[in-house]
Amino acid sequence: MVVNDPETLAEVEAVFKRYETALVTNDVETLDELFWQDERTIRYGGGESLYGVSEILAFRKGRSAAGLERDLDRTVITSFGTEFATASTLFRRDGASGKVGRQMQSWVRMEDGWRVVAAHVSIIDEPS
């Protein structure tokens, strides 16, 4: 298996950037598109545990569009072969002093493109 094949890595970096833009602009249609449309998809959030695309879509529709801007830090994207990748990043938001968010995603190349099949978002106190 090739880890970080340049072409595959570039594809995942591009789709990750597309996801991030959709997230901070509350582009729900794109966010929904980039998650695997399957009941086996999982998203653990800062205050919710969502099982299946139905719960994820309902969460997206009910989420406030306010305060979504954030700065990313220490983003690491790693591809394994040409069909699977992980993306991990830290994020900080204005107004959340002393806190740091952590986001991890598992991406899989499906017939219709790269899709998130599992995600985890959590916020912790900023380490000293």
CATH of the domain at 110: 3.10.450.50
Q: Give the percent of the chain with pLDDT over 90.
A: 89
| Distance in angstroms (rounded) separating the CA atoms of residues 104 and 26 | 19
pLDDT at residue 65, rounded to an integer:
84
**Is residue 41 one of the residues assigned to a domain?**
yes
What is the pLDDT of the chain when averaged over all its residues?
A: 96
Q: Going by C-beta distance under 8 Å and a sequence separation of 6 or more, which residues neighbour residue 19?
A: 30, 31, 34, 105, 116
| Of residues 65, 108, 70, the one with CA closest to residue 89 | 70
**Is residue 87 one of the residues assigned to a domain?**
yes
Q: Who has greater pLDDT, 82 or 61? A: 82
Sign of the Cα pseudo-torsion (49, 51, 55, 61, in order): positive
pLDDT in tens, 10-54: 999 999 999 999 999 999 999 999 999 999 999 999 899 999 999
**63 has a pLDDT exceeding 90:** no
| Distance in angstroms (rounded) separating the CA atoms of residues 35 and 41 | 8
* Stated pTM of the model: 0.94
pLDDT at residue 101, rounded to an integer:
96
CA 117 to each of CA 34, 50, 96: distance values in angstroms, whole numbers, following the listed order: 9, 12, 28
**Is residue 1 one of the residues assigned to a domain?**
no
Residue 29 tokens read as 């249609």
Give me the domain span that covers residue 37: 6-125
**117 has a pLDDT exceeding 90:** yes
How many separate domains does the chain show? 1
